[in-house]
Amino acid sequence: MLRSRFKFSRSITYKWMISYAVILLIPVVVSAIVYMQTTQIVEYEIQRASSAMLKQVKYILDSELNQTEKLGTQLSIHTDVLKFLALDKQTESSHSFDIYRTEQELGKYKSTNDFINGIYVYSASLDKVLTNETYADSRLFYAMNHQSDSYTYEQWQSDMRNQQLKTYQWIPMLEYDKFDNTVVYTKPLARKVGGIPIGTLVMPLNSNKIQHLLENVDWVNKGKVYIVDDRNQVLFHNGSGEGSAVSYEELLNDKNSMVASIASDLTSWRYVSMFPSDVFWERAREIRILNLIGLLVCCLIGGGVITYFARKNYNPIRELVSIFPNDQEGSEEAKDEYAFIRQSVLTAIRERNDLNHDQMRQLRVLQSYYLAKLLKGQTEQATSVKEAASIHRMDWQSEYFAVLLFYLEPAEEKEVPLTLSQFIVSNIVKDLVDRSHNIHFTDVDGLLAAIINIHPDRMETWKEEAEGAILEAHVFIRQRYGLSFAVSGSERNGSLEGIHQAFLQALEAQEYRIMLDEKFVWYGDIKLDETDYYYSINEELVLHNLIKSGDFEKAAQMVDNMIGHIFNRQASIEMVKCFLIDLASTMMKMIPQEAQTTALWEERRPVKRLLACTTRTEFRKELLEILSAVCERVNEKLSLASNSRIGEQAENYVRIHYADTNLSVSLIASYFGITPQYVSKLFKEHAGEGLHEFISKTRVSEAKLLLNSGASIDETAIKVGFSSSSAFIRVFKKYEGITPGKYKSIH
């Protein structure tokens, strides 16, 4: 067997046998369910038959009882009966004939209804009973019909006088020379008069007829029917006599019978049927035995078939397992043959995929290296397009190529690595461009480059198709990844050697695209015009005069016009840079001599920032900043010339207000409506010294006069504008070399 070579913890044959056994169990379980359902259906049908039979009994008995109650109603309003009940002891003898006639009427009514055994009327005023056969006093009538140990005369008389007596009463009564409990129908015949009833109508039911009716019900021989009253006592049944003492609860709790019941619509009785379970199972036992024998035979035959087919179906699995080597990792731990085959197949697929992955990775490296060589012009001259495509597995379809260079801008919301950005852009652009043309990406010195092989049927529209696909990719990548990129493209070239020329064209277009700050530039759209130099001497003089006059707005407008004109003419990059440097030089020549050495100008380093610009927007921004700084310096110089008398006015202001403790450079500047720095600068040009220093010297001079006149140091300090004597002493010593006290002692 196979297990001599391969060892499995549990062979697949066991699983097959279990599976087949489960399949075999399905019809067995279904048969058992059907058998159980059949039993329930039979029981349900028996219950239905019982209910139908009980409805038949109910209909017959309720009809008879209804006729009895109608008879009682007729007698309760019968004239003769009412006359009899109206008699008393004094009038009884004079109405003997009327009593006799009433007796005859009761006999007629009795003869028309065989559901009752008799009719008697009890008169409370006479304390006598009138029947369809006799007329006697109450005690004699009791002795003849009801006398028993369980039912005394007082109880009987109390019932006859009780107007709340139940309609159907179970009373002991002599019948066929023996006492037995009999169901009687009772009905009060008149209302109470002075608290005493007039009389009561009593009609004993014919128990034999009811018994005969129950025994003749169309029902199974061994079934029983019971009539139960509201006290759950059995009144009638179709048995031989046993069961009359059985209660309704005992009938319901009988586990050996199937019980059904229905309530009477006319009385408080219930009709109950009982069918022994043994009778039902006697009829179903043969079917059960046949089912069990059939299931046993199916299991035995099915077991043999399972074993045969399991061994037969195992042969192909054994042959398949023998094909695979047994030296695979984890093969000894395989639970069954399927797990071993699966593990072996997965191992083979994994090895194949790893090999294919390595081959594809090597192929991509070779393709990228080859494409980089094509872009740099390092290909073999003798290789044709078809040969190159075959060697490097390129899907080239024509000999026409174009080159695209991609400039990836950093993400706005999150930082994405450059390699990942290139991967995203290259894959999405390739998916879109490959719809019409073949495109391959490579990295050239950190720059993402692509070579498009133009489809031979789309030579006229290739540029529009490529541009549309790239723009679609740009929108998608920007929305999905937050990345943005710019593209420059070459013209169409017709050989492998032309790819290098296309690469140079794309580089030049890329440089020009950066200068123009555009998103997409084709080399063919660049038309260089280098016939003359746009920046003439006359224009330089005009700009010189505008700057000299300090008119920034007109100068800025002229600079914008000149920049727009040079870029619109699509001059070469060298020509544009030369023009921009000349323009900056013109501006810088107009800087006042004294402003060229200021710290502010050294910090801005405008020339260095200008040379670092790459786009048109950046050049314009830096040139306008230089122009603004130059115009600001020129305007300051012009303001100095127009405000030369401010220094003299500031000197007079100090000589008048030197005693003011709030006197300062800021206060003086506010007075003249200029900045503190500007007023200091004007005063220095006027007096050759700083304004703050002049204020201090003026105060010291006035203080010396006061000290010479005998004023104290504190008084002098306040009068010349010092906030404290200590400040006065410090300033005085700074300019005189001695303290005020020393000066006062000397003079």
Strands 520-522 and 484-489: parallel
Residue 512 is assigned to a structural domain of this protein: yes
Contact 100, 80 (CB under 8 A): no
**CATH number, position 464:** 3.30.70.270
Q: Examine the fold and report which residue of 494, 525, 556 is the final residue of a domain before the chain moves on.
A: 525
Q: Which residues have a Cβ under 8 Å from the Cβ of 513 and sit 6 or more positions away?
A: 407, 486, 488, 520, 521
* Joined tokens for residue 398: 């024509």
Residue 350 is assigned to a structural domain of this protein: no
Q: Examine the fold and report which residue of 642, 667, 686 is the final residue of a domain before the chain moves on.
A: 642
Residue 285 is assigned to a structural domain of this protein: yes
Specify whether 627 is located in the same domain as 684: no
Residue 3's pLDDT band, with cuts at 50, 70 and 90, is very low
Question: pLDDT tens for residues 173-222?
Answer: 876 666 677 888 888 876 544 555 688 889 888 888 887 877 776 554 56
Strands 257-263 and 234-237: unpaired
Specify whether 131 is located in the same domain as 33: yes
Q: Tokens 């997965």 appear where?
A: 346
Give the Å distances, CA to CA, from 317 to 306, 342, 593.
17, 12, 102
Specify whether 463 is located in the same domain as 553: no
Task: Using alpha carbons, select from 690, 669, 687 the residue that is nearest to residue 678.
Answer: 669
Residue 33's pLDDT band, with cuts at 50, 70 and 90, is confident
Residue 353 is assigned to a structural domain of this protein: no
Contact 65, 167 (CB under 8 A): no
Percentage of the chain with pLDDT > 90? Answer: 0
Specify whether 232 is located in the same domain as 272: yes
Specify whether 248 is located in the same domain as 389: no
Residue 531 is assigned to a structural domain of this protein: no
Nearest-5° Cα angle at 182, 180 to 185: 160
DSSP at 76: H
Specify whether 435 is located in the same domain as 579: no
Mean pLDDT check: name the lowest of 115-129, 230-244, 283-297, 365-379. Answer: 230-244
**CATH number, position 88:** 3.30.450.20
Q: How far apart are CA 354 and CA 348, in angstroms?
A: 10
Question: pLDDT tens for residues 250-288?
Answer: 666 666 677 788 888 888 888 887 777 666 666 666 666
Residue 653 is assigned to a structural domain of this protein: yes
Q: How far apart are CA 546 and CA 556, in angstroms?
A: 9
DSSP 526-572: -----SS-S--HHHHHHHHHHHHTT-HHHHHHHHHHHHHHHHHTT--
Q: Which residues have a Cβ under 8 Å from the Cβ of 11 and sit 6 or more positions away?
A: 2, 3, 336, 337
Q: How far apart are CA 425 and CA 443, in angstroms?
A: 13
Residue 149's pLDDT band, with cuts at 50, 70 and 90, is confident
Alpha helices in 324-461 (DSSP H): 337-376, 385-391, 418-433
Residue 344 is assigned to a structural domain of this protein: no
Residue 1's pLDDT band, with cuts at 50, 70 and 90, is very low
Q: Tokens 């260079």 appear where?
A: 405
Residue 461 is assigned to a structural domain of this protein: yes
Specify whether 586 is located in the same domain as 670: no
Q: Examine the fold and report which residue of 602, 626, 642 is the final residue of a domain before the chain moves on.
A: 642
Specify whether 558 is located in the same domain as 578: yes
Residue 5's pLDDT band, with cuts at 50, 70 and 90, is very low
User: What pLDDT does 638 receive?
Assistant: 64
Specify whether 6 is located in the same domain as 120: yes
User: What pLDDT does 196 receive?
Assistant: 56
User: What pLDDT does 284 receive?
Assistant: 64
Give the largest Cα separation in the chain, rounded.
182
> What mean pLDDT value characterizes the chain?
77
**Per-state percent for the chain, helix, strand, coil, to nearest 5:** 60, 15, 25
Helix H or strand E segment including 212: helix 207-215
**CATH number, position 694:** 1.10.10.60
Chain CA centroid to CA 723, Å:
76
Specify whether 442 is located in the same domain as 504: yes
Q: How far apart are CA 276 and CA 220, in angstroms?
A: 10
Residue 426, pLDDT above cutoff 60: yes
Specify whether 505 is located in the same domain as 583: no
What long-range pairs does 622-626 form, CB within 8 A, spacing at least 24?
A: 623/559, 623/563, 623/580, 623/583, 623/584, 623/587, 624/556, 624/559, 626/584, 626/587, 626/588
Specify whether 558 is located in the same domain as 503: no
Domain count, the chain: 4
Q: Which domain holds residue 4?
A: 1-323
